[in-house]
Amino acid sequence: MNFRKLYDFLRDLQKNNSKEWMDANRKHYLEVRDDYIVWLNELNSKLHHADPDYNNTEGRKAINRINNNLMFHPEKPVYKDHFGAGLDLGGSGKQGDFYIHLGTNESFIAGGFYRPKKELLDSIRQAIDYNGSDLKGLMNEKGFKDLFHGFIDDGGSLKTSPKGYSQDHEHIDLLRMKTFAVQVDLTQKTVIETDFMQLCIDVYVAMKPFRDYLNKAVTV
């Protein structure tokens, strides 16, 4: 996969973010997208080999649409400034993401639950109430801390305790949160010039205990 071409295409798209330009350059878009899908298929296979519990997710299912949803966000441009792909997708809808984001403004690998629905959030909080020390323990491991630097800050944490939990709960810092996800920020140089597939595998493996905790929390 030539990731330099992927970024070059995204930069051109953002300078000419219109349906007319996309129609005139659709062949180029499809070439980049299809190359990325082939790459995702290979990564999918390797992740399946690395984790027996991995949910097979072919590239065409993993990759997100490049069109923005203008019905709900009419203020946004027609097209996104990135290629997004979600892997390890379970069929229950109760599976934390493993997500790759390659964009002109930011690139990263992330995983977990970003602002989950109330039902899932309630389940995660119940798990933290029961054994939050397990979650803190794995997040305080040196390898995890060095790679992820804590949770993604979505700016939406509660300032007080959620309903049903005391202000002096030993894990109140976690219970107040509405997003339970971590990420590794990437530079375009890292994606282009390193073994990016192996990096994705390494991040997946390092993230797995964290995602396993959350996935168990929302399914038990």
Instruction: List all residues 6 or more positions away from 56 whose beta carbon is below 8 Å from its beta carbon.
Output: 44, 48
Tell me which of 55-59, 62-66, 155-159, 189-193 is least confident. Answer: 155-159
Residue 7: name the closest of 85, 102, 75 by CA: 102
Rounded Cα distance, 28 and 34, in Å: 10
Residue 104: give the domain boundaries.
Answer: 3-219
Q: Is 150 left (phi over 0), alpha (psi -120 to 50) or beta?
A: left
**Total domain count, the chain:** 1
Residue 29: name the closest of 101, 99, 79 by CA: 79
Angle at the Cα of 128 (from 125 to 131), degrees rounded to 5? 150
Nearest 5°: phi and psi at 32? -65, -45
Q: pLDDT grade, residue 70 (50/70/90)?
A: confident
- Whether the per-residue pLDDT at 105 is higher than 80: the answer is yes
* Domain at 170, CATH number: 3.30.930
